[in-house]
Structure 1
């Protein structure tokens, strides 16, 4: 039976140290450039070096996200950035774009490459294609069931890792306020528009309004429940998932710390005696204390295509 990796985010050096100390086998981080933005400042080169040194001394890994959808000008400095990441000992690069894949392979050919869930990998044919292009790990789409992931595992090379989100935000649609401003006013950031209130109306239910939430982090057009799969560790392992990924880019450090602790205990308990593993409701109660939204198992337990 394969041992799964527990993968957690970190937005600064302190978070990286805390999450590794609490049981994360690997950390994914963003650099100062070429990654999707988070609410905190991203890692500088100095802090990356310190974080990688801390992780490697404890047998953990650090993956750097380089998952922007690049425009032409983005390729001007990316090669020098990638070479820096290789020199400081990054364990893998996470990309989402074929062009970026080409640049990474040509610039640092010995680097391990992971494919972000932004690439929307939903089937074994696509997963095998990416593996043949040099991708070591595929982060599968969040819309897959355990059954579908198991099929991907069965029909792809065992050398290919499968990473999947097991806890955190299930984002259906998310955009910054400036996008709405630009659409409505032709300008990037219009304060009057940004301070207006919006609601969604379903076509066949006029008069029923669903609020569009706005805060300093952006505009939330659809806000779902949070994914939580701590009750289903055996099902996830059986599906062939290599890495259990925690989503938490917009969560505070205490939230991530408690999530890492809970999943570490659940995973370790499973491997002590897989056949006798029982879910402990205390783990879920601890997670419920730090979440302000209800939990869901997402699509894992039900294949959405069966309902078509």
Structure 2
């Protein structure tokens, strides 16, 4: 039966690789966060949560009205499932909102051993049609994370034909393999991508060789713009949030559990602002769209495209040749405290800060202002000109009010490679 599409507010779902990132995502507007535990996930190198950290994270999120999901989306080999039932029960008893699973064995164990714990189907399961959604619905799953290979037209059709919640990726890294099911890492480095050990072999640089019959191979390095690469650009749907909302997507998923707090805060802030603006008024969204795009380019990332949503990706959605755009901002610190009487902020430094540096402060709610580092003092109250030590506590004078949790970024100096209209590259100084 065709479902009536209703325009409703989708949740902004942010990545949280550590407890610190979870709290940042919550503070910067996430409606839900997804994390990893120390078992059954696909990010062995992320700062995966212990049970104690999960308990603290869930408590913090729930105190702010935010949901927490745990990714348990590995493909199990024989024996990997041992202990899963007890693990799922522990998550349920901590008050977790849902687990994200792809393996039918783990799904069965969760349903049987941890009744009451909500299950979402991972994108690893490659759900690309409404019949698949209905199949998982009959097994008790409440949400399906859409395969990243689905087009916007297919998404719209799925929404019309199923009541199952749709979670769709809107920002972050794209895998070169279908729905992330890759064996290249296994072959190149003996690290199983489907059991949490991906070495991202597709991101490596490869040489290209000429192999004339009976002759020595000859490297073509230098004869082509860049060595052979299989690396996809990142996804960005900030300009297309109206399509996601109008087509009834329930959850807008941001990838990046291994990214920095600068990334998590900035991207969460942008998508929260985009959703708020469009639901208030499409005209308001259009008016701020360029600001949202500019803001996203202040964090380190690859080039951006819309994935499979509007067309099949071509060579323009692959990384090769000179970079067409490079972020020119660097995360340098965060506000820890603010003395409104003296207009002085206590900050925790993350990168080198110099007296006189041009910086930008930003905070939840898409607040921004620019200033200069002024009256820089160290934790002992001594006036200094430069602070090179990471995580040092400093104080500065600020021209406007700031809040604990606000972030500080500086414009970087350096070289930017840009494409000219003829496709050749030119180097300019930032």
Give the structure-1-normalised TM-score: 0.84
CA distance in 1, matches of 2:44, 2:12: 21
Which one of 87, 93, 96 corresponds to residue 99 of structure 2? 93
Quote the RMSD (CA, aligned, Å): 2.5
CA contact (8 A) 2:42 2:73 kept: yes
Q: Structure 1 pair 43/285, CA: closer, same or farther in 2 (3 Å)?
A: same
The CA distance in 1 between the partners of 2:260 and 2:27, in whole Å, is 17
- For structure 1, which runs of at least 5 residues remain unmatched after alignment? 184-195, 213-220
Change (3 A) 1:276 1:23: closer
- Call closer, same or farther: CA 1:7–1:200 in 2, change over 3 Å: farther
Residue deviations 1:15-47 (CA, integer Å, cap 9, x gap): 000100000000100001111124333100011
**Structure 1 residue 285: Cα displacement:** 0.7
Q: Give the corresponding residue for 2:24.
A: 18
Shift of 1:128: 1.2
Q: Cα distance 1:10–1:285, how it changes in 2: closer, same or farther (>3 A)? A: same
* Residue of structure 1 equivalent to 2:308: 299
Larger Rg: 2
Partner deviation per Cα, 1:105-141 (whole Å, 9 max, x = no partner): 1011211110000000011111111111111100011
Of structures 1 and 2, the one scoring higher in RCO (CA 8 A, sep 6+) is 1
Asked whether 1:30 is paired with 2:30, we answer no
Correspondence 1:192-231 to 2 at 5 A = 198-199=206-207, 211=227, 222-231=230-239
Equivalent-residue separation in structure 2 for 1:142 and 1:64 (angstroms): 20
Aligned counterparts of 1:60 and 1:182: Cα–Cα separation in 2: 38
Query: Are the aligned partners of 1:171 and 1:222 in contact in 2 as well (CA < 8 Å)?
Result: no
Normalized against structure 2, the TM-score is what? 0.61
Q: Is the 8 A contact 2:277 2:284 kept in 1?
A: no
Please state how far the C-alpha of 1:293 moved relative to its aligned partner: 2.2
Return closer, same or farther for 1:114/1:200 CA change in 2, 3 Å cut-off: farther
Alpha carbons 1:39, 1:249 under 8 Å: kept: no
Q: Does 1:50 align with 2:56?
A: yes
2:279 maps to 1:271:
yes
1:300, 1:125 → 2: CA distance?
20
Q: Which residue of 2 aligns with 1:136?
A: 142
Tell me if 1:165 matches 2:169.
Answer: yes
* Counterparts of 1:211 and 1:98, CA distance in 2: 40
Maintained 8 Å contact 1:67/1:97 = yes
Task: Say whether 1:259 aligns with 2:257.
Answer: no
Q: Which residue in 2 is equivalent to 1:281?
A: 290
Q: Does 1:242 align with 2:250?
A: yes
Q: How many residues end up aligned between the 2 structures?
A: 280
**Unmatched segments (≥5 aa) in structure 2:** 1-6, 192-203, 211-218, 314-430
Cα distance in 2 for residues equivalent to 1:201 and 1:81: 49
Deviation at 1:292, TM superposition (A): 4.0
User: How far apart, in 2, do the equivalents of 1:256 and 1:38 lie?
Assistant: 19
The verdict on how the C-alpha distance between 1:200 and 1:112 changes in structure 2, with shifts beyond 3 A counting, is farther
